Amino acid sequence: MSAPKSLLLAVLVLLGACREEAAPPPPVRPVLSIVATMQSTEQLGPFIGLIEPRYKTDLGFRIFGRMVARFVDVGAVLKKGEEIAVLDPAVQAAAVRSAEASLANAEAQLANTQAEEARLKDLVQRNIIPQSQYDLSRRNFETSQANVTRAGASLRKAKDALAYTQLDADFDGVVTNKWAEAGQVVNAGQKVITLARPEVREAVIAVPDRIAERLSHPNDFAITVDLDRVVSMKAAAIRAIDPIADPNTRTRNVYLTLNDPPTAFRLGITVSVTFTRPVAAHVDLPATAILEKDGKSFVWVVDVAKGTVSQRAVTVGAREGDNIAVTSGISAGERIVTAGVHSLAEGQAVKVPQ
């Protein structure tokens, strides 16, 4: 072989070796992942709510009129019978005076007809006057008696109307709201204040409609009511749930019974409420971590030491929103890929971002 040909062959061999050495290694793919945490309890919340009275009453005047004064404000503590507000009593006072005059007139007429009936009774017994004349006086006397009864009833009604110009507390309580101001003309039955019984309190929270459906069925949720994370207590039960969701917020109010709440749980205080109950052990994963193939469910488990992934079959439990409960196939502490599960291969090199 000539020297030029030998030299050319050597160059070609060297170029081939360089080409083989320059082949890049398989790329290391970064993946998103989470560390599996075993869950043995189910927790709903926390939900923010208020301490409210279970029993409260809207108080108002029984008659129409102009309110001249209101003596209480929100937060006032009232005793039964304590004065709350008054209406201008001028019209009712005049009605009382008119009714008193009518009663006096009716009583005077009764006295006259009674005397007339007694006088004519003696005369008719002696046959001095005809029976018809006596009967007429008797009817006049009975009419006068009825007039006195009617006038007395009218006077009592007028006095009641005068008493209705004063609004008093029907029971011991706390004013939680006000609806009318001094100088305002109010109708009969119109709300003036809201009076609550402070001894019976409950926690009221708003929860999404789907959660309210779960709470409305018999369950073993433990309900914790926290006040500033310092004072807390267990709620006795769910007393009631609004049957219809609010059209704007799509939430429903849940009313929680509190037995002997601490004094710190005052009316109007904001609280945080959580619902907790034991459940079968499981791992919560985002739905993007599950690979569905051939009617089975799989996840990609990251081997942190080797920097590779391996596919593993799992058993899927309940699905709620974007989360899926995996009941078997995963151990606590394992790292699970949460995105791009359809583009991975068995044993593929991966990198977990720090």
d(CA 15, CA 332): 52
Owner of token pair 């102009």? 66
In which band, very low, low, confident or very high, does the pLDDT at 173 lie, cut at 50, 70 and 90? very high
Are residue 157 and residue 183 in the same domain, yes or no? Answer: no
| 303 and 345 assigned to the same domain | yes
Rg (CA), the chain: 44
Same-domain pairing of 207 and 302: no
Domain membership of residue 2 (yes or no) is no
* Pair of tokens at residue 282: 């499981």
User: Comparing 252 with 218, which gets the higher pLDDT?
Assistant: 252
Question: Are 83 and 114 within one domain?
Answer: no
- Same-domain pairing of 213 and 274: yes
CA distance 284 to 37: 8
8 occurs within a structural domain: no
Residues 249-285: pLDDT tens digits? 999 999 999 888 888 888 888 899 988 888 889 999 9
Query: How do residues 202-213 score in pLDDT, each as one tens digit?
Result: 999 999 988 888
pLDDT digit string, tens, across residues 224-234: 888 777 788 88
Please say if the pLDDT value at position 26 is more than 50.
Answer: yes
pLDDT one-digit tens code per residue, 325-348: 999 999 999 999 999 898 898 999
Residue 161's pLDDT is: 95
- Residue 20 maps to a domain: no
Taking Cα atoms as reference points, which of 259, 252, 341, 249 lies closest to residue 301? 341
Question: Higher pLDDT residue, 328 or 223?
Answer: 328
In a domain, 10, yes or no: no
User: With contact defined as beta carbons under 8 Å apart, do 204 and 52 qualify?
Assistant: yes
Q: Which residue has the tokens 């005369």?
A: 123
Residue 308, pLDDT score: 92
Task: Give the mean pLDDT of 163-190.
Answer: 95
**pLDDT greater at residue 141 or residue 43:** 141
Q: Which residues contact 209 (CB under 8 A, 6 or more apart)?
A: 245, 250, 251, 252
Mean pLDDT, the chain, integer: 88
Q: pLDDT confidence of 216, banded at 50, 70, 90?
A: confident
Please give the Cα distance from 63 to 161 (Å, whole number): 7
Domain-embedded: residue 318: yes
Same domain, 75 and 184: yes
23 inside domain: no
3-state SS, the chain, equals CCHHHHHHHHHHHHHHHHHHHCCCCCCCEECCEEECCEEEEEEEEEEEEEEEECCEEEECCCCCEEEEEECCCCCCEECCCCEEEEECCHHHHHHHHHHHHHHHHHHHHHHHHHHHHHHHHHHHHCCCCCHHHHHHHHHHHHHHHHHHHHHHHHHHHHHHHHHCCEEECCCCEEEEEECCCCCCEECCCCCCEEEECCCCEEEEEEEEHHHHHHHCCCCCCEEEEEECCCEEEECCEEEEECCCCCCCCCEEEEEEECCCCCCCCCCCCEEEEEEEEEEEEEEEEEHHHCEEECCEEEEEEEECCCCEEEEEEEEEEEEECCEEEEEECCCCCCEEECCCHHHCCCCCEEECCC
How many CB atoms within 10 Å of residue 3? 7
Confidence at residue 227, expressed as pLDDT on a 0 to 100 scale: 78
Q: How far apart are the first and last CA of the chain?
A: 60
Residue 2 has pLDDT above 60, yes or no: no
Same domain, 202 and 247: yes
**Domain closes at, from 225, 251, 280:** 280
Q: How confident is the model at residue 6 (pLDDT cuts 50, 70, 90)?
A: low
Residue type, 151: A
**Domain extent for 35:** 29-39+282-351
Residue of 266, 267, 271 lying closest to 254 (CA atoms): 271
Q: Are 219 and 276 in the same domain?
A: yes
CATH of the domain at 216: 2.40.30.170
Residue 159's domain is classified under what CATH number? 1.10.287
| pTM of the model as a whole | 0.65
Query: Domain containing 299 — which CATH number?
Result: 2.40.420.20
Instruction: Among 31-35, 68-72, 318-322, name the most confident range.
Output: 68-72
Boundary (domain end) residue, out of 262, 280, 298: 280
Tell me whether residue 101 is in a domain.
Answer: yes
pLDDT at 10 exceeding the cut of 60: no
Q: Is 310 found in the same domain as 273? A: no
Per residue in 147-167, pLDDT tens?
999 999 999 999 999 999 999
Domain final residue, candidates 255, 280, 305: 280
Number of domains in the chain: 4
Does residue 99 carry a pLDDT above 90?
yes
pLDDT of residue 12: 53
- 149 and 236 co-located in one domain: no
> What is the predicted pLDDT for the residue at 22?
47
185: domain CATH number? 2.40.50.100
276-325 pLDDT per residue, tens: 888 889 999 999 999 998 889 999 999 988 889 999 999 998 887 788 99
Report yes or no on 185 lying in a domain. yes
